[in-house]
């Protein structure tokens, strides 16, 4: 089941390229933590994109399909950036990476240029290397549970990021459940996958970030219910109790981790309460929650003073950063940007995970890859980051092919 058909052909290069593009940021982060402050993440991203692009298909031209909407949003973002006063070229890099990846998938042909099943194996492998690398950093003392950060230079540039670590743990969890659901796996391989899922969850906890932890819990519960593991039997109850006790003993025996769990729990409940009510009196809120409350009030204040034209096309690229991508897309690009952004980053992932189409395991897996982005659209970030759009682009590719197959059957 876990065997990867490594090949030097273009097909094998494309499979590794797609996987490397998706996992390059956390993989590069771990390399930087271990060997120093270098630009490994960007180099791995560039290498992955160059490997996955189907140069031999360029004569065929770009096909009009679901992927086209992703490219339209990115091109519109480019135009908005050019005519704005915003001057941070790194955003052009985000958009360029997304466009290159999306065009590459649009040109590719399903089953001919790469195998999705083998691509998933590469994603599983690269994400496993990232998770084990993160574990090594904690075990070796390079990182602590409470800091979640590691500075290498005098300027204090952050090398390790908890959100990035949490995202790759979630990706590893999704891939592991994908392999568990396959019919050709052995009992030993299933136990191995469950052990890795437990490790991924612990590493997500050690990332010291609330959003990845809650997303990981939702995904684990979803797959356990889908695969029938929540249909309790005496044997399953005993296994769940033993696993829970093992995790609790490990947490309690480590003072730093115990404090981290207590802090995350307190901040989560207080943060949710304050975001819903807007009242943070008496709450020991984190800075991120305070900022989001202020941003929410500022966003709705600006929207209330929109004229008709601003409702349609927005106020321009990143006129104000709200740390809420869904609202940011509306403020920047009006109804046009909001509709495109919400359809691709929120509706499509939820449709793939909760509609009947989830019976297709690969569609479900790609929908799960994009699911954390759908959640983060209401919590943190901005609407232009490639880590948000690349899983969506892969999901569009899979949905296009699935609908094409269903159309032929009908």
Predicted pLDDT at 30:
83
Residue, of 191 and 402, whose pLDDT is higher: 191
Q: Domain for residue 314, yes or no?
A: no
Q: Is there a domain that residue 277 lies in?
A: yes
Position 379 confidence tier, pLDDT thresholds 50, 70, 90: confident
Confidence of residue 275 (pLDDT cuts 50, 70, 90): very low
**pLDDT mean across residues, the chain:** 80
Residue 355 has pLDDT above 70, yes or no: yes
Rounded-to-integer distance, Cα 373 and Cα 387, Å: 8
Question: pLDDT band at 152, cuts 50/70/90?
Answer: very low
Q: Which of 55-69, 80-94, 185-199, 268-282 has the lowest mean pLDDT?
A: 268-282
Instruction: Report yes or no on 323 lying in a domain.
Output: no
Structural domain range at position 274: 236-285
Task: Give the pair of three-digit tokens for residue 56.
Answer: 């031999």
Q: Is-above-0.75 flag for pTM?
A: yes
In a domain, 254, yes or no: yes
Read off the pLDDT band of 368 (50, 70, 90): very high
Token duo for residue 379: 């919590």
What share of the chain in percent tops pLDDT 90? 37
In three-state form (DSSP H/G/I as H, E/B as E, the rest C), the secondary structure along 234-259 is HHHHHHHHHHHHHHHHHHHHCHHHHH
pLDDT of residue 253 exceeding 80: no
Distance CA 71, CA 399 (A): 16
Q: Considering the domain boundaries, does residue 263 fall inside one? A: yes
Q: Which of 5-19, 133-147, 331-345, 384-398 has the lowest mean pLDDT?
A: 133-147
Q: Is the pLDDT of residue 344 over 80?
A: yes
User: In which band, very low, low, confident or very high, does the pLDDT at 400 lie, cut at 50, 70 and 90?
Assistant: confident
Q: What is the mean pLDDT of residues 46-61?
A: 89
Q: What is the pLDDT of residue 407?
A: 55
Question: Which residue in the block uniquely carries the two structure tokens 């981790």?
Answer: 257
The share of the chain scoring above pLDDT 70, in percent, equals 75
The values of phi and psi at residue 393, to 5°, are -60, -40
Mean pLDDT of 71-77: 95
Q: Which of 6-20, 51-65, 244-258, 333-347 is predicted most confidently?
A: 333-347
Q: Does the structure show a pLDDT above 60 at 298?
A: yes
For the residues 181-193, what does the mean pLDDT come to? Answer: 83
pLDDT mean over 67-90: 93
Q: Phi/psi of residue 397, each to 5°?
A: -60, -45
**Residue of 206 and 316 predicted with greater confidence:** 316
Q: Which of 11-20, 85-94, 254-263 has the lowest mean pLDDT?
A: 254-263
Average pLDDT over residues 370-383: 88
- Domain count of the fold of the chain: 1
**pLDDT at 301 > cutoff 90:** no
Residue 88 has pLDDT above 60, yes or no: yes
Instruction: With cut-offs at 50, 70 and 90, classify the pLDDT of residue 187.
Output: confident
Q: Report if residue 245 sits inside a domain.
A: yes
Question: Residue 153: what pLDDT?
Answer: 45
Average pLDDT over residues 149-164: 60
- Min mean pLDDT across 198-212, 217-231, 252-266, 392-406 is at 252-266
Q: What is the mean pLDDT of residues 210-228?
A: 88
353, exposed or middle or buried, with CB in 10 Å at 0-12, 13-18, 19+? buried
- Cα Rg of the chain (Å, integer): 22
Whole-number pLDDT of residue 172: 95
* Average confidence (pLDDT) over 195-210: 86
Q: Could you tell me which residues come within 8 angstroms of residue 311 by beta carbon, excluding any fewer than 6 positions away?
A: 334, 335
Q: Is residue 264 situated within a structural domain?
A: yes
**Residues contacting 193, CB < 8 A, separation 6+:** 176, 177, 179, 180, 185
Q: How far are the Cα atoms of 61, 147, 240, 269 from residue 252, in angstroms, in the given order?
A: 58, 19, 18, 21
pLDDT at 389 over 60: yes
Least confident of 35-49, 52-66, 181-195: 35-49
335 within some domain: no
Q: What pLDDT score does 244 carry? A: 66
């Amino acid at each position: 089941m876990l065997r990867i058909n490594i090949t030097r052909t273009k097909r094998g290069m494309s499979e590794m390229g797609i996987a490397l593009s998706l996992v390059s940021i956390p993989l590069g982060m771990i390399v930087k933590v271990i060997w120093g402050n270098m630009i490994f993440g960007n180099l791995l991203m560039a290498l992955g994109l160059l490997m996955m692009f189907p140069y031999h298909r360029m004569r065929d031209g770009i096909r009009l399909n679901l992927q086209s909407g992703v490219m339209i949003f990115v091109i519109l973002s480019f135009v908005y950036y050019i005519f704005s006063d915003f001057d941070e070229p790194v955003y052009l890099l985000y958009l360029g990476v997304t466009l290159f990846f999306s065009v590459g998938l649009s040109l590719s042909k399903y089953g001919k240029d790469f195998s999705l099943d083998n691509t998933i194996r590469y994603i599983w492998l690269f994400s496993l290397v990232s998770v084990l690398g993160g574990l090594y950093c904690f075990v070796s003392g390079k990182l602590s549970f409470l800091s979640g950060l590691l500075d290498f230079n005098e300027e204090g540039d952050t090398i390790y990021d908890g959100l990035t670590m949490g995202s790759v743990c979630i990706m590893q969890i999704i891939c592991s459940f994908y392999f568990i659901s396959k019919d050709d796996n052995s009992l030993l391989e299933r136990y191995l996958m469950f052990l890795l899922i437990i490790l991924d969850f612990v590493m997500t906890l050690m990332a010291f970030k609330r959003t990845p932890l809650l997303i990981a819990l939702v995904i684990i519960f979803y797959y356990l219910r889908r695969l029938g593991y929540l249909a309790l039997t005496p044997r399953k109850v005993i296994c769940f109790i033993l696993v829970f006790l093992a995790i609790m003993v490990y947490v309690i025996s480590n003072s730093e981790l115990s404090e981290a769990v207590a802090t995350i729990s307190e901040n989560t409940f207080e943060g949710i309460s304050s975001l819903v009510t807007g009242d943070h009196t008496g709450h020991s809120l984190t800075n991120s929650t305070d900022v989001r409350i202020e941003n929410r009030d500022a966003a709705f204040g600006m929207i209330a003073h929109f004229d008709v034209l601003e409702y349609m096309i927005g106020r321009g690229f990143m006129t104000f950063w709200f740390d809420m991508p869904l609202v940011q897309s509306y403020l920047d690009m009006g109804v046009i940007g909001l509709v495109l952004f919400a359809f691709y980053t929120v509706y499509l992932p939820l449709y793939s995970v909760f509609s009947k189409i989830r019976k297709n395991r690969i569609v479900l897996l790609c929908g799960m890859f994009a699911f954390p982005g759908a959640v983060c659209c209401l919590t943190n970030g901005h609407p232009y980051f490639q880590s948000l759009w690349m899983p969506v682009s892969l999901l569009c590719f899979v949905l296009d092919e699935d609908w094409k197959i269903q159309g032929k059957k009908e």
